[in-house]
């Protein structure tokens, strides 16, 4: 049986959705707050329906938390705000779909089914990063360089992914520590150098460019197409 989590503070709407989905044979959890939703994450969920605004926080923040934990569960965002930018933002942080309020309950259920099916067939949105000779499949954390799969450690992977996602952009060591290592960890800036070295040795020297006195950025091979 498929398990669905609905995070929605409008109880009427939530219960109505729950009922329809249960008729479809789904097992539905309903949370009216983010706090409650977090406790329900212990369940093995197949789809999450997430409202944009909630009494104790933004749905999008909850989504970010999920993605930070590498959760791959599809998320459908609900929002009353019609301007496109919010939709775009929602999608970029990894929402699989969205709906603007008001909507037909039946349509939402249809979309939930789409997500369930895509999750099964594995054809969901492939999170790929392509930059020159680099290809990154973020779903299974695979890194390819020049057509060959290279085994990278977690930090190496996160580092090169950030650089590949922002080709040409120069990052200072401090900036990289923030973005890749996070604010909780405080390694030396020299740690960055070491990891850059590892990546260079595993691939090619020019994969990462040194901008002396400023930091690192993706090398030109990340810009030049290989064919």
Give which of a second copy, DNA, none residue 191 binds (C-beta under 5 to 8 Å, depending on kind): DNA
CB of 31 to a second copy, least distance (A): 23
CB of 144 to DNA, least distance (A): 17
Task: Give whichever of 37 and 48 is closer to a second copy, judged by the CB atom.
Answer: 48
227 binds a second copy (CB under 8 A): yes
Torsion over CA: 86, 92, 93, 97 (sign): positive
Region binding a second copy by CB under 8 A among candidate stretches 13-21, 36-44, 133-141, 196-204 = 133-141
The residues with which 100 forms a beta bridge, in sequence order, are: 79
25 binds a second copy (CB under 8 A): yes
Q: Which residues of the chain form contacts with DNA (CB under 7 A)?
A: 151, 153-156, 173, 181, 185-188, 190-191, 193-197, 200-201, 210-215
Task: Give whichever of 142 and 146 is closer to a second copy, judged by the CB atom.
Answer: 142
Task: Give whichever of 113 and 173 is closer to DNA, judged by the CB atom.
Answer: 173
Residues near 3 by beta carbon (within 8 Å), at least 6 away in sequence = 26, 27, 28, 29, 43, 44, 45, 46
Residues of this chain that bind a second copy (CB under 8 A): 1-2, 25-26, 80, 82, 84-85, 87-89, 91-92, 100-104, 106-107, 110, 113, 116-117, 120, 128, 130, 137, 139-142, 153-155, 157, 168-170, 211-214, 217, 223-225, 227
């Amino acid at each position: 049986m498929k398990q669905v989590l609905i995070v929605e503070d409008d109880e009427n709407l939530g219960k109505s959705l729950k009922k329809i989905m249960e008729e479809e044979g789904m097992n539905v959890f309903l949370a009216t707050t983010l706090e409650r939703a977090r406790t329900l994450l212990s369940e093995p969920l197949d789809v999450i329906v997430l409202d944009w605004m909630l009494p104790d926080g933004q749905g999008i923040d909850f989504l970010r938390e999920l993605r930070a934990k590498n959760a791959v569960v599809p998320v459908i965002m609900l929002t009353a705000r019609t301007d496109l930018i919010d939709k775009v933002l929602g999608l970029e942080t990894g929402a699989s779909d969205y709906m603007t309020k008001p909507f037909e309950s039946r349509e939402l259920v249809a979309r939930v089914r789409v997500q369930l099916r895509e999750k099964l067939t594995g054809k969901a949105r492939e999170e790929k990063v392509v930059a020159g000779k680099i290809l990154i499949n973020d779903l299974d954390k695979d890194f390819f360089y020049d057509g060959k799969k290279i085994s990278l450690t977690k930090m190496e992977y996160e580092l090169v992914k950030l650089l590949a996602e922002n080709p040409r952009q120069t990052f200072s060591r401090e900036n990289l520590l923030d973005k890749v290592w996070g604010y909780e960890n405080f390694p030396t800036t020299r740690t960055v150098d070491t990891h850059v070295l590892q990546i260079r040795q595993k691939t090619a020297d020019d994969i990462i460019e040194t901008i002396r006195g400023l930091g690192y950025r993706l090398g030109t091979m990340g810009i030049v197409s290989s064919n």
